Amino acid sequence: MRSNLFLVFALLGSTQPCIGQTSVALVRSDTLGQYGIMKQAVAQEWKKVIYSGKPRASRSYELTSCVGAVTSMFSGDNLTSDLAVLAAEVRLASLTLEWAGYPREIWQPVVGTFEKKLLQGLEQGKRLKDLEYVELAKQAQDKLLEFRTTRPTLPSISWEVACGGWSELTLKVVTNPKGGVVKMIPSLFYSFCDKQGVKASSFKECDQWTKVSDGEEITVVGAYYYEISWSNGPSFISRKDFSSMPDTAKTWMVAK
């Protein structure tokens, strides 16, 4: 039977938030509804499968490429970060299974069960790391591989959540002039705040930003929005895609 979770979350995610609440407060007050909004933001971030070309039966494909370990999936709030990781796991697994040729009536209930159980735990105030996150992914993987024994032309898959593999950069932040303060937010969370109905560029309303001092080291991957400010001058907000920087980069110069 096809899971209806995706439709339910889409409807819940269309609910308009109460005016005046911050991003984190909205997540705390309506975790299920805000998860629906997070799924919209994640779908905007990952529009297509991460693999290129056509799937090959002789290969094995990782469903989510360990997205749960990626730095840009974490904001300044634990619950929001966990919702983002869960939404990304579900999104990438769904895209990959569809691309790999697994029938939707087979994979959607399996992915839906994984999603439902973890979301219930998050609603109860638990963290993903404290739930049976790895075990549930393994159970889903095994069910899908069991189906594959009836369709040997399908490629093999794996669902690893406790791993790494993304090309992250560790950079020293250098401001010019010296003494600047940088505030940063992954583009996913900037989009999430916007979809929540809060002002994404407002650090008070969109309280998912983090502060970085001149000379501090950061680990980044993908695109971020950032604000640079000095005590004696104006500030401005811009966007930086760190995937365009070479792997050998050691510093990020932020200037007026």
In angstroms, the CA 199 to CA 207 distance is 10
Q: What is the pLDDT along the chain (256 residues), one digit of tens a residue?
A: 444 444 444 444 444 544 579 999 999 999 999 999 999 999 999 988 888 899 999 999 999 888 877 888 888 899 999 999 999 999 999 999 999 999 999 999 999 999 999 999 999 999 998 888 889 999 999 999 999 999 999 999 999 887 765 678 999 999 999 999 999 999 999 999 999 999 999 999 999 999 999 999 999 999 999 999 988 877 889 999 998 899 899 999 998 7
The answer to whether the Cα torsion of 186, 191, 196, 197 is positive or negative is positive
Q: Which two tokens stand for residue 150?
A: 């009836």
In angstroms, the CA 170 to CA 250 distance is 7
Judge whether 72 and 222 are in contact, CB under 8 Å: yes
User: What integer pLDDT is reported at residue 72 of this predicted model?
Assistant: 86
User: What integer pLDDT is reported at residue 165 of this predicted model?
Assistant: 56
Using DSSP's 3-state secondary structure scheme, residue 69 falls into helix
Reported as type and span, the H/E element at residue 182 is: strand 181-186
Helix and strand totals (H; E) in the chain: 7, 9
User: What integer pLDDT is reported at residue 188 of this predicted model?
Assistant: 96
169-255: CATH topology: Immunoglobulin-like (2.60.40)
In angstroms, the CA 103 to CA 181 distance is 50
Q: Which two tokens stand for residue 66?
A: 């360990």
User: What integer pLDDT is reported at residue 19 of this predicted model?
Assistant: 57
* CATH 2.60.40-classified regions of the chain: 169-255
Position 143, amino acid: K
User: What integer pLDDT is reported at residue 15 of this predicted model?
Assistant: 46
In angstroms, the CA 117 to CA 205 distance is 30
pTM, entire model: 0.88
Judge whether 50 and 65 are in contact, CB under 8 Å: yes
User: What integer pLDDT is reported at residue 71 of this predicted model?
Assistant: 82
In angstroms, the CA 127 to CA 222 distance is 24
User: What integer pLDDT is reported at residue 160 of this predicted model?
Assistant: 86
User: What integer pLDDT is reported at residue 148 of this predicted model?
Assistant: 97
60: Cβ contacts below 8 Å, ≥ 6 apart: 155, 156, 157, 158
Q: Is the peptide bond before 177 cis (omega within 30 degrees of 0)?
A: yes
Question: Other C-beta atoms within 10 Å of 60: how many?
Answer: 10
Q: Which two tokens stand for residue 170?
A: 């560790």
